[in-house]
Structure 1
């Protein structure tokens, strides 16, 4: 009987997180599942993070450190992927967050018993300003086919299958040569979409696995800046790179349409005095999205009409529907 545990690569991009780094790394190294390859990517951090990473590498042979010039989160994750050696599985942890005990034992046990599942997701706890953890996830496990997973992901902001890579464990072969687009934020969306598109099954583990530290965004209008433009740029870039795959492009545009609708709705509800001024920047994305195929994930003629009206006359749609 083969008792050798398959290696799980845990990629941790590190940048200016001195106050949180120990909690993050300790939560990984203390896991009951010990077959780990922990890759700490020091992304040119100007504080003591690089030294702290080196100290961990001296203390635990499972830890490897990659020091590189600052290139951003995507660059650090890509550097981590290139450093993976001999691992069957890959996951990501942001260095200001931490994971729950026993997560990797539960996750790898399921993946080993179900070789048809290429991606496994789990619930998250949101650590908010009041210091309390709020669970965002499911109470029952669920298997998703490829099409079901893509449709769920394309809805945007789903607690079942969200875009964040830190809420998932991937079989290494499912990732293959897919990499994060560097120089942009919200790169998880296109990465997760590409990986799920080439996978067969996704399983949602019914437990909290990841503790996500909520950051204050400031004024609601600050959300509608270059970072949001990056999200739509990433999805458009994916459609341009993979223009030969009509299905993937359709899901990417569907995700863009749903994000546009949700951000439009949120801004109107939370900052009605400035929403029209701020949303002007998103009109070019909206015009391009309506010229490309997209899916009516809700279904039905009524919702199809709503989508068409939003894409072609967004301010009229707002006036009629969101009062």
Structure 2
């Protein structure tokens, strides 16, 4: 029997309440030309056991379950799964999310029709109560990998791994940062930069389930990983032929990443004592030229608030908490 065309990479960690729904959405696909490579990342709960039971109860979709002897983190676990995979393409799925029943059929059709290295599809963010928070658009067309990277720098394309079908050889060759959050940004930039053909389709094929324990919903000191991630992105994109690169990267670094670190910390940290070291780290990296650059970009409110942060993080923390009550 020939290997399946697509390998679904499914890291499993602390998802015992959600993994069954995720697997049900995968096992009910309208196309069966795929396999599931699940990796139990030394989960402390019954997630791996539940996944093994559900997968063993069916023989429609080939599967394999790998167990990490110690916790590796999301990026390295995906890489482990990719090395076990047999498909021409890989598809990352988070084990607490759900996918559309035509996901495999649709992305495989588009990849074959256009000989695409990457297929990017739309998604939706879903609240715990089932309501749709927002749509994650992808566009419609055929572009080069460098053009796709430019879209990420322009903040017109999301750098998630889970809304992209990627040729396995490209995915495996990418560097997967170990131990960092926001690792999707690094992996997506690499895979897109090394892709010749990127197919964008508008189909909403993935449901990203917004959990209370998610990165954007709770205080996480590891948000400072964004400093390292953005520096890495700069090293890997500076040589690409991207139009207006310096301005675009300035926006990504200071008006997205630095802003995200500062605002998310101020909003989610329960006390100033917890927020202070992180806010101070952003303040120390900001220079007058960065604030002037924000102002020159006609973003009046942001440079005012970031100037407040530069003067003293406590002023910034109090102001953001006052006007961003959750």
Question: So what's the TM-score if we normalise by structure 2?
Answer: 0.75
1:210 partnered with 2:215:
no
Counterparts of 1:1-323 in structure 2, within 5 Å, are: 7-55=5-53, 56-57=55-56, 59-60=58-59, 62-69=62-69, 70-85=71-86, 87-115=87-115, 117-138=116-137, 141-156=140-155, 158=156, 161-216=157-212, 223=219, 225-239=220-234, 242=236, 245=239, 255-260=252-257, 262-263=259-260, 266=263, 279-286=279-286, 302-303=296-297, 314-315=306-307
Is the 1:119–1:196 Cα contact (8 Å) retained in structure 2? yes
Relative to structure 2, which stretch is displaced further, 46-55 or 64-73? 46-55
Query: Within 1, Cα distance between the matches of 2:168 and 2:221?
Result: 32
Query: Within 2, Cα distance between the matches of 1:18 and 1:172?
Result: 28
Is the 1:39–1:83 Cα contact (8 Å) retained in structure 2? yes
Is the 1:235–1:252 Cα contact (8 Å) retained in structure 2? no
Is the 1:57–1:65 Cα contact (8 Å) retained in structure 2? no
* CA distance 1:41–1:125, change in 2 (3 Å): same
Q: Secondary structure at the match of 1:18?
A: coil
Write out per-residue CA displacement over residues 173-222 of structure 1, whole angstroms, 9 at most, x where no aligned residue. 33241132111111001111111111233222112111111123699895
The structural deviation recorded for 1:141 is 2.2
Query: Within 1, Cα distance between the matches of 2:267 and 2:138?
Result: 31
Structure 1: runs of 5 or more not aligned: 291-295
Query: Within 2, Cα distance between the matches of 1:142 and 1:236?
Result: 30
* CA distance 1:144–1:286, change in 2 (3 Å): farther
The structural deviation recorded for 1:123 is 1.4
The structural deviation recorded for 1:50 is 2.1
Q: How many aligned residue pairs are there?
A: 298
Q: CA RMSD in A?
A: 4.0
Is the 2:22–2:99 Cα contact (8 Å) retained in structure 1? yes
Q: Secondary structure at the match of 2:78?
A: helix
Is the 1:190–1:252 Cα contact (8 Å) retained in structure 2? no
Structure 2: runs of 5 or more not aligned: 312-319
Query: Within 1, Cα distance between the matches of 2:227 and 2:37?
Result: 30
Write out per-residue CA displacement over residues 70-104 of structure 1, whole angstroms, 9 at most, x where no aligned residue. 1221221121111112x111111111111011111
The structural deviation recorded for 1:258 is 3.6
Write out per-residue CA displacement over residues 7-38 of structure 1, whole angstroms, 9 at most, x where no aligned residue. 10100000121111111112112111101120
Is the 2:123–2:163 Cα contact (8 Å) retained in structure 1? yes
The structural deviation recorded for 1:47 is 2.1
